[in-house]
Amino acid sequence: MNEHRVAGFTLSLDCEGLWGMADRAEVLADRRINDAALRDVYSWLLLTLAHANVKATAAFVSCFAAGLDAVQANHDLLQRMALLEPSWFANLMPLLEQGSRPEGWDGAALYQAVKADGHEIAWHGATHLSLSDRTAGEAVELELILAGRLFGELGDVPRTIVFPRNLVGHLEMLRGAGFMTYRESPPAGLARRMLGLLNEWNIRDSRVEAKPEMRDGWHVSPSGFFLNWPAGVRSLAPVPVTIRRWKSLLREAVDRGGYVHMWFHPHNLITAPLMKVAFDEILREVGELVRSGDLISLTMAEANEYYRTEIGGVA
């Protein structure tokens, strides 16, 4: 390993609006994630990133990025998908067919704002249907067709994937479709999830060893660390503890030439506003380290290129 390599920081955002929760009727009925709330959060987020001089990887659900008019223009394709995956589309299709414009589903203006600020645009599925190997290949093919239509109209061809629900699958098909980079799934299982929750109190967290690598022809980013969403049981972790933990990770990365990958959903900032306090303070620290030259802000695609020549990551 190059011991003199400057530490790296990546932020990846799962940009999905309500598309990411299409199967959760209670969330759709809650109405907190609406158009106005999404506009406010994305505006605040982009300003915070600009102040810290951080470029993120923004993984958009194609339907969210393109907007409802473009989605309605592809209604025939969605109907075919709904026949293959009825449980995912059970709440969605009635909303699209009622003739109104449901709140929280159209992120076209948000997408354009993120793109205009120069962030990497990645793919988070066409409808947020799981792309795991449990999903039928025919359904994944239709997802790719729909994404091709929608992103074609937007003039973008994403090459990076953040898998919906963090469930990696159908890699051969997706590699054949031109994708090159993906974020790895976090460790599965109840015990691993509980350990992850306990780590929210680890104010001396030093896990900065995992870095992007080449694997089976893919650029693979580590699963990274979810910025704590202080709601439900996760609200037991105080915001100051979250801040101290992330500052510890950043210090370790700087001291050891390590790498830190943070991720979350922008709509998490709506349902748990205290999360904004933590993110703002952590990004201030990131910004200071970037300005001092001790840390480099890298998108997922940039991070994989940056670490490509490290031992274990040579193509």
What average pLDDT is seen over the chain? Answer: 92
Widest distance between CA atoms in the chain: 59
CB 168 within 8 A of CB 186: no
pLDDT at 287 over 90: yes
* Least reliable range by pLDDT among 159-173, 189-203, 242-256, 288-302: 189-203
Pair of tokens at residue 175: 């590699």
pLDDT at 72 over 70: yes
* Least reliable range by pLDDT among 30-34, 107-111, 207-211, 293-297: 207-211
- pLDDT at residue 233 in the model: 80
- pLDDT at residue 313 in the model: 42
* Least reliable range by pLDDT among 58-62, 88-92, 96-100, 265-269: 96-100
Q: What is the pTM of this model?
A: 0.94
Task: Identify the residue with better confidence: 101 or 106.
Answer: 106
Domains and CATH numbers, the chain: 7-306 (3.20.20.370)
pLDDT at 231 over 90: no
Pair of tokens at residue 181: 């980079």
Above pLDDT 70, what percent of the chain?
94
Q: How far is CA 247 from the centre of its chain?
A: 21
* Least reliable range by pLDDT among 51-55, 69-73, 131-135, 236-240: 236-240
pLDDT at 78 over 70: yes
Rounded Cα–Cα distance for residues 71 and 78 (Å)? 8
Q: What is the pLDDT of residues 178-197, one digit of tens each?
A: 999 999 998 766 666 667 77
Task: For residue 309, name the pLDDT band (cuts at 50, 70, 90).
Answer: low
- pLDDT at residue 1 in the model: 41
pLDDT at 109 over 60: yes
Task: For residue 315, name the pLDDT band (cuts at 50, 70, 90).
Answer: very low
pLDDT at 205 over 70: yes
DSSP letters, the chain, are --TTPPEEEEEEEEE-GGGGGTT-HHHHHH--S-HHHHHHHHHHHHHHHHHHT---EEEE-HHHHH-HHHHHTTHHHHHHHHHH-HHHHTTHHHHHHSSS--TT---HHHHHHHHHTTPEEEE--SS----STTS-HHHHHHHHHHHHHHHHHHT----EE--GGG----HHHHHHTT--EEEPPPPPSHHHHHHHHHGGG-TT--------EEETTEEEE---EEPP--SGGGGGS-HHHHHHHHHHHHHHHHHHT-EEEEEE-TTHHHH-THHHHHHHHHHHHHHHHHHHTSEEE--HHHHHHHTTTSTT---
- pLDDT at residue 310 in the model: 57
Rounded Cα–Cα distance for residues 146 and 77 (Å)? 7
- pLDDT at residue 311 in the model: 40
pLDDT at 232 over 90: no
Task: For residue 314, name the pLDDT band (cuts at 50, 70, 90).
Answer: very low
pLDDT at 312 over 60: no
- pLDDT at residue 190 in the model: 61
Q: What is the pLDDT of residues 152-165, one digit of tens each?
A: 889 889 999 999 99
pLDDT at 289 over 90: yes
